[in-house]
Structure 1
Amino acid sequence: MNAYLSMDPAVYTGQFLAILVMALALGLDAFSLGVGIGIRGIRLLHIMKISFIVGMFHILMPLMGMFTGNYVSTLLGNIATLCGGLLLVILGSHMVYSTFHTGQMEPIDHHTFLGLMVLGLSVSVDSFSVGLSLGLFHADILLTMMLFGLCGGLMAAGGLWLGRHFNGLLGDYGEAVGGLILILFGIKFLWI
Structure 2
Amino acid sequence: MNVEILLIAISLSMDAFAVSISKGLAVRHVRALDVVMSALWMGGFQALFPLIGYFFASLFGQYFNAFGHWIVFALLAIIGGNMIREAFGDNENDDAGSFDWRHMAPLAVACSIDAFAIGVSFQFMTVNIWMAVAAIGVVCAAFTIAGLYLGHLIGKRFQKPAEILGGIILILLGVKAVLNHYRIL
Asked whether 1:159 is paired with 2:158, we answer no
Amino acid at match of 2:75: G
Letter in 2 for 1:77: L
Shift of residue 44, structure 1, vs aligned partner: 2.4
Count of matched residue pairs: 154
Q: Contact 1:109/1:115 (CA < 8 Å) preserved in 2?
A: no
SS at match of 1:48: helix
Q: Look up the SS of the partner of 1:110 in the other structure.
A: coil
Indicate which of 33, 52, 55 corresponds to 1:64: 52
Cα pair distance change 1:50/1:88, threshold 3 Å: farther
CA radius of gyration, larger in:
1
Q: What SS is found at the alignment partner of 2:98?
A: coil
Matches within 5 A, 1:127-166: 127-166=115-154
The Cα offsets for residues 149-174 of structure 1, whole Å up to 9 and x where unpaired, read as 0101000100101112236xxxxxxx
- Report the counterpart of residue 75 of structure 2 in structure 1: 77
Deviations 1:131-186 (A, max 9, x none): 1111112410111111000101000100101112236xxxxxxxxx59xx47x949
The amino acid of 1:119's aligned partner reads L
Task: Provide the TM-score with structure 2 as the length reference.
Answer: 0.66
Deviation of 1:112 after TM superposition, in Å, equals 2.3
Conservation of the 8 A alpha-carbon contact between 1:87 and 1:122: no
Partner residue of 1:33 out of 19, 25, 36: 19
Structure 1, unpaired ranges of 5+: 1-12, 99-106, 168-176
Give the CA RMSD over aligned residues: 3.5
Alignment of 1:49-128 (within 5 A): 49-69=37-57, 70=61, 74=71, 77=75, 81=79, 92-93=91-92, 95=93, 98=94, 107=95, 110-128=98-116
Task: Report deviation, 1:81.
Answer: 3.6
Assess if the C-alpha contact under 8 Å between 1:36 and 1:163 holds in 2: yes
Q: Is the 8 A contact 2:24 2:97 kept in 1?
A: no
Show structure 2 runs of 5+ residues with no match: 172-185
Deviation at 1:119, TM superposition (A): 1.4
TM-score (norm 1): 0.63
